[in-house]
Structure formats: structure tokens, C-alpha cells
A and B are shown apart, each in its own frame.
Chain A
Amino acid sequence: MNFELIIFGISAVIAVFGATMMIAQRNPVASVLYMILSLIAQAVCYVQLGALFLGVILIVVYAGAIMVLFLFVIMLLNLRGEEASEQDTPAVSQFTKYVFSVLLTLELVFIVKAASLDSVATQVADQVADGFGSVRQVAQVMFTNYLYPFELTGILLLVALVGAVVLAKRERDSYSSATDDADDDRSERVVE
């Protein structure tokens, strides 16, 4: 039992624990905090896999920015746990949901086991060169082979930005301008 395996074991357990607690919590704020915990543990795994850059990005962008955005929204809406909603009886029973989620997981595990890629993969993994997953290496690939997808995500971000602004903008402004238009129309008709 070596050091790497221990670290993987601990971070894996924390990741799974964080995810489980996230969906189990009634209070969304706590959910977000558990999610952040899970993400940090996952970042540890990324680093172990040689993805140093992505691990840092995961913490800074995901845990630091996106999750904080979630937190902001929850606090902005002032959500306090789930309201009891017994009248909404789901059409499919809770039991079915668990069963099929577990079945899906088992199936995927079965595929991984059946593929038996351990032997091949481990051998290759031993020969990983120095600087694998460094900022330089990722950037080199990203700005050559993946230049266009990268630029496109830039546009996507812009669109998302505009979309978010449009969606979240208060309706009142457009409302009043619409009524103004209607008034204009009517006055024009009167003039005619």
C-alpha cells in the first residue's frame, strides 16, 4: 500500500461523501458547501492524474466562481430548504428511481471491468513524460489543434453573458415601452 493509493483513497471517499451529502441536504446552502468539498477532493485526484493545471482551474473557477454564483442566487432568492409538498405525488415511485440509478452505475462498472484496460493503461501511464498536463503543454495543444473550438467557446461565453443579462433583466422596462407603443398606435389612428 503506497502513498499515492492512500491519498487517492482519502480523496475519493471525500468526493463521494461530499456528493452524497450534497443531494441529501435539505438546505441548499449546505448543499453548495458539500459540493465545494467534493470538488476540492476531485481536484486532488486531477493532480494525481498529472492534470495540475486543470486541478487548479477546477478549484479557482468551479469551486471559487461558479459555486459562489450558486450561493449568491440561493441567498438572493432567500431559499430556506425544501417546502413540504405532499400534494405533489410523483408519478414514478422513489424506489424505481434508486433502483435504476444503481442499475445504471452497475452497468457502467461492468463495462469498465469487462474492457479490462488496466494492464494496457498502467503500462502506458508509467511512461508519462515530465511536464505532462503543465500549462505550457495544454496551451500548446489548445492554441494549435483546438484553436477553433476554443474561439467558439469564447463566443459561447459572450452569448451566455448576453443571455443571462436579458433573462435576468427586470421585465418592467420592456412592459412600459410596449404600452407606450400601443398608445402611439392609438393616437396615430385617431389622427388618421
Chain B
Amino acid sequence: MAEYLFLVPLFPLIGFLINGLLIGRLPKPLITLIGCGSVGLSLLLSCSLFFELKALAPEARQITQTLFTWISVGQSPDQFHVSIGYLLDPLSAVMILVVTGVGFLIHIYSIGYMAHDNGYGRYFAYMNLFTFAMLTLVLADNFLFLFVGWEGVGLCSYLLIGFWYEKKSASDAGKKAFIVNRIGDFGFLVGIFIIFWSVKSLDFMTVAARAPEVFVFGGSLVTAACLMLFLGATGKSAQLPLYIWLPDAMEGPTPVSALIHAATMVTAGVYLLARTNALFIMAPDALMVVAIIGALTALFAATIGLAQNDIKRVLAYSTVSQLGYMFLACGVAAFTAGIFHLMIHAFFKALLFLGAGSVIHAMSNEQDMRNMGGLKKYLPITFSTMFVATLTITGIPLFAGFFSKDEILWKAFSSGTNGAWYFWLIGFVTAGLTAFYMFRLVYLTFYGKERMDSKTKSHIHESPRTMTVPLMALAVLSAIGGFIGMPHIFGVTNYFEEWLSPVMSGPAHDMAEHALASGGHSATMEWLLMAASVVLVLVSIWMAYYFYRKNTQASTSLAEKFLGIKTTLENKYYVDEFYGAVVIRPVIYFSLFLWKFVDVILIDGTLNGLAKLWRDVSDALRYSQSGQLRSYATIFTVGVVLLIAWIVFGINHG
């Protein structure tokens, strides 16, 4: 089976080629078959590969397949050699299962959601291309090939955000996502350069193996490389300060938001950190930066999420916040917890987005929650599945999100890093905020008065089977997915940690363990913290219930009391405006200066001036061109006379 590894990304690519090259020529059922079938085949293959990997001994769980040499410079192995190769290890196995699994469900969902769209074929072509790029990203065995996938998903993100390109806001959002990501990609590239410069290889295995010999623990070089990689991750995964593109990315079709901007692509940054854990573990300063950024993003985005009224934007800020959690986990060197939360988040956030899509579908493209309400009885399946997802994200015990989130909080608390307590506190507060805004969403959307107009109301209907079945599948995953990674204090094996342990070990980790004294904390403490967070979540839910269900007047009066805070939150802390003033305005003015002065006056002026000079000179000279043969002949003769005179007399006397 292992030799068919390359087929996993190849199926969606073939699907993309067929659908993309024959846009508008295939009948809809065929498009559906190709679009979903290719991802489905990838899913089946991924599953069988997973079981094959599982059958191997834990230390030997590594399947590599090198297809061909891509770039080769020089003879010695120290010179630049990059191959197109795939690496399947426990980490990438988890990722391909998430990508193909969630991706397949979202493809199925799209059949119903996009059924009446004119760009049906284009949509599935892009989605398949995205799946291909994402699989390339997670399966690549070296940095450069990963970067290809990285850019590929960025491209697809751009294409799909701007899918309804007739809409100005959609195409603007696509451009914004693309441009903001350029900043991150610049950092990523510099990181790759540093790594190649010092390690002389871009292969993940080689880099991980050689890192302890090449780098000094905590040295500036490895810190710089890690910070640059993290800059790339902040761009792709929408962390501070580059998160601004993600909320705007909600202009795309909702399944796109679910697949790309919640479940898979935005988690690429977390994957990158986990993939290069051997480097990060050697740079505690970089890890500290990651943890701080992650924690701040989690809190920051959650507060914005409190005051948003667009259902998709709430989810977008929630995604940013949850991604912050994952980075927090990576920042305290708990990569396993980060990946675990990544997987669980992929389930429940995809579910939330798809549920929101179902609501929007039912509401005739209305996205403002203030115009919804009481949808529970109209959309029973959507409601119940979304409710499961909400319970999961808020961290109700025994739902998957509870395990993954508490794992992160506990790791943050128990890690030996400085200020671990603060990280825990921020995560703790964020958990409360998350519970509040998620239940606010549920109450505003599904309970209370029916605030929509009558025309919309008459159209409300539960979504077709193709949309509800993926919802139910994801609901099951969100509910029970957590049992594979239960904490030790429950007295069961943490299968997930065990599964990923071959990836999260190695010489670099041994080295780090010597340097970092792990803070020993008792199981009692863990129980205590867990209980605290459950209590906080329940209090938050009750507050949401109080403000948005029981006593809706209270929320308005509270909002009036803290009007300043409310407007600030509604305007997302004016970050976009701040960037506009600090970054975009100067760039525009500088471009204007370049255009109006440097280009038009300096460059064009010089060139036009030169051209005009020659024109004037030629204008004066052209009268010598009389067109008269005899005049030319005379001038020629004069020339000959002078030339002979110069030769004869000049040489004689010279």
C-alpha cells in the first residue's frame, strides 16, 4: 500500500484537472461525481495507509516515498538538493485523515449548498485543487515542497474567497487575504533560507536529526529561524498581528469557510510548528513568543467575538481565538495538545460553519443574527448538530472539546516556562468568553422571537439530505472524538499522545528536557483546574442565557452602560483602521510619490526630455537631407577630397 502514497494528493489533482479544464462542458452529476469521488478515494486510501502505519512498530512508523529529484545543484550532499517526496508519519497521517475526512464531508455538503450556483464546476475544481495543495502541504517531506503546498492553499484561498468575484467586497477580501499572507510567506521563506544555510538540508528528517549538532540550544540562529517560521505561521493561521484577513475571508461560500478558513488551511501554521518541533524545542525564546502571541490572540479575538452580529464573523473570530489556543499549546512545547485541539477543532468548527451555512441557506442569505431567532423548530437537524458543536467548543465535560481544551490549559499551567500561570489565566478567561459568545450565537439564532421579515420566514426550510448528513457525521465526531486523547488522570491511555510520540521525540527533545526543569504538579491540581474551568463555562452559559434569553433588556441596558467598550468591540478594536492609517495610507502616499514624482516627472521627464532633444536636433538636421542625388554626390566628393588630403598631407607632415 505504501507505494501508493503519492496517489493521495494525486486524486484531487486529477479531479481538479478534469473539472478545471472542462469547465462548463460537463453535466452537473458528473462534476459532482468527479469532485467528491476524487476526495473520497483519497479518504479511503488515507484510511488504509493509516492502518498500515499503525501495524508498524511505533519507532518504525515512517513511510517515505521519493518521486523524483526536483532541484539539484552540485555533487556534494551539502549542496542544494530538493526532491519531490512524500513523508507519512503519525503526524501527517493525522493531518491527511483530517483533510480528506472533513474535506470529503464538506464536498458532500457543497453539493446541496452550491446546487443553484452558476459556478458549480468552477467551485468543485477549486475545492479539489485546494485539497491537492493541502495534502501536498501535509505530506511533503521537505521545507520547499511544503512551501509549494503552502502557496497552493494560499492561492486556492484567494480564489475561493473571491469566488463570487462580481461582488466587490468578495474580491477585495480575496486580495486582502493574499496580500496579508505575503508578509507571512516572506518570513517563512527567510526561515527556510536560514535553515538551509545552517543545516545544509531541507529534508524534515535530516533537519530534525542534525539540529542538535548544528544549533546551540537557545542560540540566536535557531531562534531567528523559528521566529521566521512562526511569522509564516501567523500569516497563514491568522494570528496577531496578521489575523485581519480571516474575518473578511467570510465573503466566500460558507463551505469554503468551513474547509479552508476553519478546518484545514488556517491550521497549517500549527502543523508547521509541530512538524518543526525539533527546532522550536531548541529555541525557548521563540517558544515564549509563540505562547504569548497565541494567548493574546485567543483573548483578543474572543473579546471581538462577543460583539459581532454577523453569524459567520462570530465563528471567524472564534476560529482565530481557537487557533490562538493551538499556538499557546505549541508555545509551551505541548505540540501534541496543539495537534489534538487542531483535529477536534477541525470537527466542531467545520460543523459550526456548515450549520451556519445551513441557517444562511434557510434564511435566504441573511447573515445578521439580529434578524434571526426562533429557528429551532424550523431547522431541527441543523439546530441539534450545531448545539452539539457548541457544547464541544465551550468545553462541556466528555465532549471532545473539553478534553482538547483542558489539555492545553493544563499543559500551559504545568509547563516550566516563565509566566505559565498567566498563560493559564488567559486561556481560562478565553474559555469563559468562548462559552458566552457561542451561547449568545445559539440563543440569538435558534431561540427567542422570530425577528425575520415575513417573506424570508415563508421560505425557511430544513436543508436537503446532502447537507444534513455531513452535519450529523461531524456532530458524532465532535461529540466522541475526544476519547482518543483523554488525560492521564482519568486513568486511561492517551492514545493520541502515544500515537504522536515518535514525532515529538528525538535528540533535540532530550536536549531540551535537560535544560528545562519540568514543573511537577499533582493530579489534584489538574482535577481542581478542570473543575474551575467547568464552573466558569457554566457561569458564562448562564450569563448568555440571562442576557439573551431570559432578560433581553438587560443586555441592551448593559450595552448602553458600557457603550464605549461595545462600539470598540463592534469595530474590532479599530485594528483595520489602525492598519489603514499606519501601513496602508503611507504605502499609498509613497506609491503616489513614486508615481507622480519619480515615475512621471523624474523617469518619464528624463526620457521624454531626451527624446525631445533628439527630435529638435533631428528637426534641424533634416534640411540637409534634400533628397537630391547630385547634392549627395557633391557632399560625397567633398568628403573624399578632404579624406585624401588628410591621408596624403597628414601622413607626410605628421
Contacts and interface: CB of A to CB of B under 8 A. Distances in A.
* A, B: real partners: yes
Interface of A: 88, 90-92, 96-97, 100-101, 103-104, 107-108, 110-111, 114
B377 interface: no
Interface stretch (B188-196, B295-303, B411-419, B626-634): B626-634
Contact of A90 (B630, B638, B640, B644): B630
B637 interface: yes
B637 A100 contact: yes
Contacts of B630: 90, 92, 97
Interface in B48-88: none
Contacts of A114: 648
Given A91-B626, A91-B628, A104-B640, A97 B648 contact: no
8 contacts: A90-B631, A91-B628, A97-B634, A100-B638, A101-B637, A104-B640, A107-B644, A107-B648
Given A97-B630, A103-B641, 19 more contacts: A90-B628, A90-B631, A91-B626, A92-B631, A92-B634, A92-B635, A96-B634, A97-B634, A100-B634, A100-B637, A100-B641, A104-B637, A104-B640, A104-B641, A104-B644, A107-B645, A111-B644, A111-B648, A114-B648
Given A91-B626, A100-B638, A104-B641, A110 B648 contact: yes
B624 to A, nearest CB: 8
Contacts of A92: 630-631, 634-635
Q: Interface size for chain B: under 10, 10 to 19, 20 to 34, or 35 or more residues?
A: 10 to 19
Of all A-B residue pairs in the complex, the 3 with the closest CB atoms, nearest first, are A91-B626, A91-B631, A92-B634
A107 B644 CA distance: 8
A79 B201 CA distance: 89
A107 B635 contact: no
B571 to A, nearest CB: 64
A111 B630 CA distance: 27
Residue in B626, B630, B631, B641 whose Cβ sees the most chain A Cβ within 10 Å: B641
A114 B637 CA distance: 22
Nearest to B634: A92
Interface in B467-501: none
A53 B630 CA distance: 36
A108 B628 CA distance: 27
A20 to B, nearest CB: 18
A108 B641 CA distance: 10
Contacts of B635: 92
Contacts of A101: 637
Contacts of B648: 107, 110-111, 114
B640 to A, nearest CB: 6
Interface string B608-645: 00000000000000000010101100110110110011
A101 B635 CA distance: 11
A4 B8 CA distance: 108
Contacts of B634: 92, 96-97, 100
Contacts of A88: 628
A88 B626 CA distance: 11
Nearest to B652: A114
Q: Which of B628, B634, B635, B645 has the most CB of A within 10 A?
A: B634
Contacts of A100: 634, 637-638, 641
A70 B497 CA distance: 108
A90 B632 CA distance: 10
A92 B644 CA distance: 21
A100 B644 CA distance: 12
Contacts of A111: 644, 648
B53 to A, nearest CB: 63
A100 B631 CA distance: 13
A92 B648 CA distance: 26
B126 to A, nearest CB: 40
B641 A107 contact: yes
B402 to A, nearest CB: 74
Interface in B582-632: 626, 628, 630-631
